[in-house]
Structure 1
Amino acid sequence: MSSEFSTADQAAITSGGDFWHTAAVESAGIPAVTVTDGPHGVRMQASGGDLLAGVPATCFPPAVASASTWDPELLRRMGEALGDECRAQDVAVLLGPGINLKRSPLGGRNFEYFSEDPILTGVLATEWVRGLQSKGVGASLKHFAVNSQETDRMRVSADVDERTLREIYLRAFQRVVTQAQPWTVMCAYNKINGVYASENHWLLTEVLRDEWGFEGLVVSDWGAVVDRVKAIAAGLDLTMPGPDADGDAALCEAVEAGQLDPALLRASAQRVRDLVTKAGERPAGGYDAAAHHALAREIAGRSVVLLKNEGGVLPLARSGVSVAVLGEFARTPRYQGGGSSQITPTQLDDALTQITAATSAAVRFAQGYTVEEAGAAPAETDSQPDSSEAGSSGAGSSQPGEALLAEAVAVARECDVAVVFVGSVHETEGADRDSLDLPAAHLALIERVAAANPRTVVVLSNGAVLATKPWDESVPALVEGWLLGQAGGSAIADVLFGRVNPSGRLAETIPLKLADHPSYLDFPGEHGHVRYGEGLHIGYRGFDAREQPVAYPFGFGLSYTTFTYGTARAVATETGVEVRVPVTNSGGRAGREVVQAYVSLPGSRVRRAPRELKAFASVEIAAGETTEVVLGIDRGDLAYWDTRLGRWVVEGGDYLVSVGASSRDIRTEATVPVPADAARVPLTTESSVGEWFADPRGAQLLGEAFARAAAEASDGDAGPMSAMAADPAMLMMLGSLPLSRMATFPGSPLRADQLDKLVTEANA
């Protein structure tokens, strides 16, 4: 860094110039560059004071939908398109993707996040970043880390053990950083185990840079920095927004007083400068709005998950079958959540228009509920009215509401098929949900229409999972439509009429009820702390560990065709495990199958989930054809975090690879021996007798000591501890006794002055 770049300049450039720009330093010839919100569109703030009013841009499906494609290549194409739109608006860094895990289905920002699984999240996000950055636009991987709720999000401490932190909540970040090198990583608002993410040296420097080799810039979430000096010392480079004159002055004073190493401030300033230089190298560009809308439609169609289709109600015929389209969401679509990711779309498709255009038969519409009614949550009562009461005294039965329901029922009776559009109304940054239930007016509409027309299809619009039991038992077809972006209306019509064969799969479990969820007792915490009490057993891992029934399992999704699996074969390689399985499209339509490989290690020495996703592939297969699907499992993804050694360890043994169509639909299995990593835990005086005997060298040395004691016991000269050591049954009782304490017992076969020598010999 040149000498003319003063300490004051360095401080100034490490905070923003305004809300959406870095600070320019004219004396050093450093211009400002633009950063703006993503992650499913380019949310460039329009002129004026409204932060959420944006310049029109393609609103692609949010992550809650795009993750259900289980297709990394599709996410890469989305990233490329976002890169083109960023270049068209002179944006240097797009703030995304969001890869925090969906710890609870109540998370208000779940619609911006991919999954409850770190492998699925990491693989999809890696390709999103690669696509965006291939266009010369930087990604901002967020929110680092353990940002899984909106309640008290600016202050709450996520209290989580290190193994869970490493294997679950940091694993996706590690994958994206090491494989895609995002230009920036955005630190979260919250604390991790009592330390703010913005001030967490272990997180931002020791893990992110020293262990993972991150080469880019760490930027704060907007307003996440509490203390600029502590933040720079921890490894944060750019505080947003700005300017922050007081923070700049505090940095200069800390350097002058010797309270902050000037090299740290120089390094942060240089990283900002490097980012600006890199951004200046990208060419200007434009984009084809119609082509991007078509891509948004393709992704949305691939995101739809068919949950139920009894009797082949779907796909709908394109002629000769009259359709009742019911529910205001068909006409006024919900297509994204609220908050900083809210995009102003270039156009907006609604399902009613698209369904009408897709068929030559009659299409009739009834509103069913108002947008205002949709916002009303079900009443909290000890019992719900039965179906005979729902029309008059049930939820949503106000006079206007009853009139809308009666109209919808009348239309449903007069048509061959009824398609009911319902969903959630509350997914937004800044607030968590308080229920998984549909609004009362929506539940009433489903109940009344299903009673009037046995061929009822329910289409959901929601940013996080909704409870579907017991009402889904009354309808033959259920379509999970998520929040699908600006082309969602077209995509829904594509799926309903079979122009697109549904291939979406659930990236999160749908529980029977909220109380079943692994996070239920520890979300969202209290008094500034949230305890991650379920540990490793997030999402499907917890449901499977408890053998808990669910409404629809992780990875689940139906198709208009069927797939059969042959016998899986698995072999260990230098880089991991290769799995091969023949998959046949045994139905009459071309379609996609998402082949999923889950791994377990029976008899593992450490606690594990019954099965964990380790590889997957979305494969297009023509009707009647067979494809050999090859899945590669990285050896590193088989490792667990050994807290004793402070590193990743692959435990040796016969791993069970279960291949199937969901975490609960395993079609074929294979066992593969995997060699162990060299991982010996050093013995200490605090190691137990059992641990000493479990170690070959320790067992030899301790065995010799006990043998001497046993010999003495046979001569009648030994004390009671030596006699116990000579009895195998009694020796088992000593297994949990630390060696140091054993030496304190009268008559012990070990003396305290022997222990250090014993430890030295054992670890030599």
Structure 2
Amino acid sequence: MSVIEDALAALDLETKVKLLSGQDFWTLPAIPEIGLRSLVMSDGPIGLRGIGWRPDDPSIALPSPTALAATWDPELARTAGRALGQEARRKGVHVLLAPTVNLHRSPLGGRHFECYSEDPLLTGEIGAAYMAGVQDQGVGTTVKHFVANDSETDRFTVDVRVGERALRELYLAPFERIVGAGAWGVMAAYNGVNGSTMTEHADLQIGVLKREWGFDGVIVSDWTAARTTAPAANGGLDVVMPASGDPWGQALVAAVRSGEVPEEVIDDKVRRVLRLAARVGILDGAEPAVAESARPSTLDGAAVARKAATRSFVLARNEGGLLPLDPARLRTVAVSGALAADARVQGGGSALVQPAHVISPLDGLTAALAGEQTMAVGARPPRTRRWSTPPPSATPSAPTRAAGCRSPKVHSGPTSPVCSARPAGASSSVRRCPARTSAGWASRHPACHRPTSPSSRSPRVSRPPWAARTSWRSSASATSR
């Protein structure tokens, strides 16, 4: 027998079931009797957060995955993945909860910055390269969110109705590509598809993912997404996260003993968890998937992030040959928006990391263009999220002029602040008319509330069967991955 089969044979039912649920928010339990150490998971697609998520333990912050896809460079995506795998090993993390390969369906999708593209082919190719890079370091990946989790509206209860062809050619395609390339994990989404919530969806999790595609890794629930005992266990879900609100535990033991869930189903799940543990090197006696000597050489993570950001820029047009900026030709440069100085470099949520430092647009321009600078912050952006903190000098006042500004033509209105960076020797000023930039954000603008056409969205039902199960909802918004 193999190490995995020997370990499985040594476990009683209660211990096997224990291994299928989180022991806390980020980890699976250790079982010293079989030489199994605790498996540690962590967010996310932009950087490796780690368990502590502390300012004194910063992370590399890669550009948005959308920017990474804009490079059209799988090898660069693989290098980015290797950098995050290296970070994972430094922080003691075994499995990275990434990549996110849902599709850009609408500009209103609140987590699209975590995803690559509206194109399933591009998403699959960049995602597969990213996955391979992380796993080159002997760190597992979790491809998410399986499947059709492309909208944040009612995401815990929405039932996405989608035809077979669209499901196969659009939504499943990136997952198929990345699973086929060897991903070790997949995350089951909150939403339902065609009448069944994904954590219980046997047709997709067992029929397509495990049998048709031959996936031999672990399917883990999105955080608090699992809501039932026997239906989720029989539907193909392998691991429930986190520990809080777990519907398995003793309830699953009872379901096995009553015959609702065959013990062979439990054995298959445990076998998958042990296989993942062996791959990442935390099961004694089993060879890890990547020997330490075979891991890539040490990478400069900051240099990788800078290269990815530089390669991601797409110049749509360059009227009058203005770019690159030439100080000898410039009189003034206006940088609009409160976030010019307080850079919003991340989207927040599960993808948020603590970078070692941030260079704002104003910092970059100031360093590149010598001369006098004046700044007027203008209106305070709404604090819609705890991680969106406007500069302390921001005020919701009427138009003002920057202190010490020599020209009355530099305006700061209630809709868009302005910074004017004046190159050395320049004498004239620039006037900028108010425009929709910071105040109100996009979500408050009428254009953002136009109803989408039937062809641009998936039909949904308002109260699918699982929506009545409300015990899991109280903390879901704060813990979703």
TM-score range, shorter chain: 0.7 to 0.9
For residues 605-643 of structure 1, give each alpha carbon's deviation from its aligned partner in whole angstroms, at most 9, with x where no partner exists: xxxxxxxxxxxxxxxxxxxxxxxxxxxxxxxxxxxxxxx
Q: Which amino acid aligns with 1:302?
A: R
Match of 1:149 among 141, 148, 151: 151
Deviations 1:248-281 (A, max 9, x none): 2122112212221111100101111111122113
Whether the aligned pair in 2 keeps the contact of 1:81 and 1:292 (CA below 8 Å) is: yes
* Counterpart residue number, 2:322: 313
Task: Number of aligned residue pairs: give it.
Answer: 428
What whole-Å deviation, never above 9, does each CA across 1:319-349 have from its counterpart, x for those lacking one? 4534434332221101001211110002211
Match of 2:44 in 1: 38
AA aligned opposite 1:7:
L
| Distance in 2, Cα, partners of 1:208 & 1:218 | 10
Per the TM alignment, residue 229 of structure 1 is displaced from its structure 2 partner at its CA by 2.3
- Match in the other structure for 2:347: 337
Deviation at 1:127, TM superposition (A): 0.6
Aligned to 2:132: 130
Q: Is the CA contact 2:86–2:298 (under 8 Å) kept in the aligned structure 1?
A: no
Q: Which amino acid aligns with 1:214?
A: F
Q: How far is 1:523 from its partner?
A: 7.2
Partner of 2:368: 358
Identical columns (%)? 34
User: Does structure 2 conserve the Cα–Cα contact (< 8 Å) formed by 1:368 and 1:404?
Assistant: no
SS of aligned partner of 2:27: coil
Summarize the Cα distance change of 1:413–1:399 in structure 2 as closer, same or farther, 3 Å threshold.
closer
Aligned to 2:32: 26
Aligned to 1:346: 356
The AA in structure 2 aligned to 1:194 is G
SS of residue paired to 1:186 = strand
Distance 1:316 1:236, change over 3 A: same
The amino acid of 1:293's aligned partner reads A
Q: SS of the counterpart of 2:86? A: helix
Q: Tell me the distance in 2 between the aligned counterparts of 1:409 and 1:176.
A: 57
- Deviation sequence 1:139-163 (CA, Å, 0-9, x none): 1100000101112211211111111
Q: Which amino acid in 2 is paired with 1:403?
A: T
Against the structure 1 CA distance between its residues 80 and 28, is the aligned structure 2 distance closer, same or farther, given a 3 Å change threshold? Answer: same
Higher Cα Rg, which structure: 1
Counterpart of 2:62 in 1: which secondary structure?
coil
The residue aligned with 1:232 is 233
**Following the alignment from structure 2 to structure 1, what is the Cα–Cα distance between the partners of residues 339 and 408?**
17
In the alignment, does 2:21 pair up with 1:15? yes
**In the alignment, residue 333 of structure 1 is paired with which amino acid?**
A
Contact 1:187 / 1:218 at 8 angstroms: preserved in 2?
A: yes
Q: Is the 8 A contact 2:108 2:448 kept in 1?
A: no
- 1:78 is the counterpart of 2:83: no
Structural mapping, 1:221-370, within 5 Å: 221-242=222-243, 247-280=248-281, 281=288, 283=292, 291-319=300-328, 321-326=330-335, 327-360=337-370, 362-370=371-379
**Whole-angstrom distance in 1 between the partners of 2:271 and 2:151:** 33
1:527 alignment counterpart: 462
Secondary structure at the counterpart of residue 349 of structure 2: coil
The CA deviation string for residues 98-117 of structure 1, in whole angstroms up to 9 with x for no partner, is 01011111011111111111
Q: Structure 2: which 5+ residue stretches go unaligned?
A: 282-287, 386-394, 420-428, 465-481
3-state SS of 1:181 partner = coil
Q: How far apart, in 1, do the equivalents of 2:235 and 2:56 lie?
A: 34
What value does the CA root-mean-square deviation take over the aligned residues? 3.7
CA distance in 2 between partners of 1:15 and 1:373 (Å): 39
Query: Relative to structure 1, is the Cα distance of residues 356 and 405 closer, same or farther in structure 2, using a 3 angstrom cutoff?
Result: closer
Structure 2 Cα separation of the partners of residues 408 and 513 of structure 1: 36
Match of 1:430 in 2: none
1:324-723 to 2 correspondence within 5 Å? 324-326=333-335, 327-360=337-370, 362-372=371-381, 400-403=397-400, 410=407, 441-442=415-416, 453=430, 515=450, 518=453, 522=457, 527-528=462-463
In the alignment, what sits opposite 1:5?
11
Please list the CA deviations of residues 396-424 of structure 1 after superposition, one character each: whole Å capped at 9, or x if unmatched.
xx97241158998948769xxxxx9xxxx
Q: Which has the higher strand share?
A: 1
TM superposition shift of 1:455: 9.8
Are the aligned partners of 1:324 and 1:364 in contact in 2 as well (CA < 8 Å)? no
Structure 1 SS opposite 2:351: coil
1:174 aligns with 176
**Cα distance per residue 1:576-621 (max 9 Å; x no partner):** xxxxxxxxxxxxxxxxxxxxxxxxxxxxxxxxxxxxxxxxxxxxxx
Q: Given that residues 200 and 232 in structure 2 are in contact (C-alpha distance below 8 angstroms), is that contact kept between their aligned partners in structure 1?
A: yes
Indicate which of 56, 63, 66 corresponds to 1:64. Answer: 66
Larger relative contact order (Cα-Cα within 8 Å, sequence gap ≥ 6): 2
Partner Cα distance (1:272, 1:19) in 2: 17
TM-score of the aligned structures, taking structure 1 as reference length: 0.51
Instruction: Summarize deviations over 1:674-711 as a string: whole Å, max 9, x none.
Output: xxxxxxxxxxxxxxxxxxxxxxxxxxxxxxxxxxxxxx
Does the 8 A contact of 1:328 with 1:371 survive in 2?
yes
Could you tell me how far apart the structure 1 residues matched to 2:357 and 2:123 are? Answer: 29
Of the three residues 163, 166, 176, the one matched with 1:164 is: 166
With over 3 angstroms needed to count, the CA separation of the structure-2 counterparts of 1:232 and 1:218, relative to structure 1, is same
- SS of 1:277's partner is helix
Instruction: Check conservation: 2:374, 2:402, Cα contact below 8 A.
Output: no
For structure 1, the 5+ residue unaligned runs are: 377-397, 415-419, 421-438, 447-451, 470-511, 530-764
Q: Distance in 2 between matches of 1:144 and 1:86?
A: 23
Partner SS for 2:122: helix
Deviations 1:505-539 (A, max 9, x none): xxxxxxx987496568757956247xxxxxxxxxx
d(CA) in 1 for partners of 2:37 and 2:252?
22
**CA distance in 2 between partners of 1:55 and 1:146 (Å):** 34
Report what 1:385 is aligned to: none
- 1:54 is displaced (CA, Å) by 8.3
Distance in 2 (CA, whole Å) between partners of 1:52 and 1:160 is: 41
For 1:278, what is the secondary structure of its paired residue?
helix
> In the superposition, relative to structure 1, how do residues 159 and 246 fare at CA in structure 2: closer, same or farther (>3 Å)?
closer
Q: Secondary structure at the match of 1:35?
A: strand
